Amino acid sequence: MKIAYIVLAHKLPVQLVRLIRRIEDDGTSFFIHMDKKAGDRMYSDLGEMLSSMSNVHLLKKRYPCYWGDFNIVAATLESIGQLVNSSIDFDYAILLSGQDYLIKSTSQIKEFLQKHRGQEFIESFALASENRWTNLGGCYRALNRVQYWHFRFRSQHFYLPVKRRFFKGFEPYGGSQWWCLSRECIQYINSFVMNNPRFVNYFKSVFIPDELFFQTVVSNSHFKDCIFDDDLRYVDWEHPNPTPPAILCKSDFDTLVNSPKLFARKFDITRDAEILDIIDQKILGIYANI
């Protein structure tokens, strides 16, 4: 089982390197996008820290990524394109943030994917059906995200409640930004994007496109019947500290160790570095800080 990790990061390069070192082995590769807003110094420092790792690819093309902006999708698609066009063999690609961390060993992750080979791990629900966004207000409501015009300038969001017709022949889907998709599905996405620029452009004017784009592509393809409706990670949306999702701390360890998920987010070593040490020791069996 060979896994390619696509990592979207915007800060904490030391924590990011730690994540990569915990995951890497002979069967892994990494394609890392560092937010352009992070600055050139952080980017170059990260490159130096990763320079000895031949299986790590730091993307040269960088996008400034603001919350809810299409550039998050663009950065992900750039990573997918780099992966597909490389000579690297992989069975699954997993999308992570730089603040994720594994809560299962690498062998357990590979065993899980081997057991469920052929399934696509992505939360995906039809926006027109009853879902967790149905009763939200304003632009957060499920169909309002795609049927009205949304524009962004940096961190500012502008909402024009004038209806437009969704892209012809497609039903809109949504869900969590994070996923784990097979090589065949990743290749399909890359080909689809190259051949359907108008579809891509439509999503430049939707609300939070990173929670819509990949769900809509996969769920309107022949991979729909292979979807396992799970993004494979634990996230605490119930206890913001102060903003959601919660920063996970050592007090969360019992929840993490008992979770069936493979990964968790989000962590911040400037808030609580000890939780990563505890995961290393009690879940991963690692006692040295490598």
By DSSP bridging, strand 120-122 and strand 179-182 are antiparallel
CB of 9 within 8 A of CB of 32? yes
Could you tell me the end-to-end alpha-carbon distance of the chain, in angstroms, rounded to an integer? Answer: 24
Helix (H, G, I), strand (E, B) or coil at 118: coil
9 is written with which tokens?
């990061």
pLDDT recorded at residue 288: 62
Helix (H, G, I), strand (E, B) or coil at 149: strand
Longest dimension (CA), the chain: 57
By DSSP bridging, strand 125-126 and strand 149-153 are unpaired
Q: How far apart are CA 268 and CA 281, in angstroms?
A: 18
Alpha-helical (H) ranges within 85-143 are 106-115
Ordered mean pLDDT values, 10 residues apiece, the chain (290 residues): 97 96 94 96 95 95 95 98 96 98 97 97 97 93 93 83 89 97 98 97 96 98 97 95 94 97 97 96 80
Of residues 288, 258, 283, the one with CA closest to residue 102:
283
CA distances from 148 to 97, 152, 258 (A): 29, 13, 41
Structural domains of the chain ordered from first start: 3-232 (3.90.550)
CA distances from 173 to 20, 23, 126, 186 (A): 31, 31, 4, 18
Q: Phi/psi of residue 72, each to 5°?
A: -65, -40
Quickly tell me which residue has 């209806």 as its tokens: 163
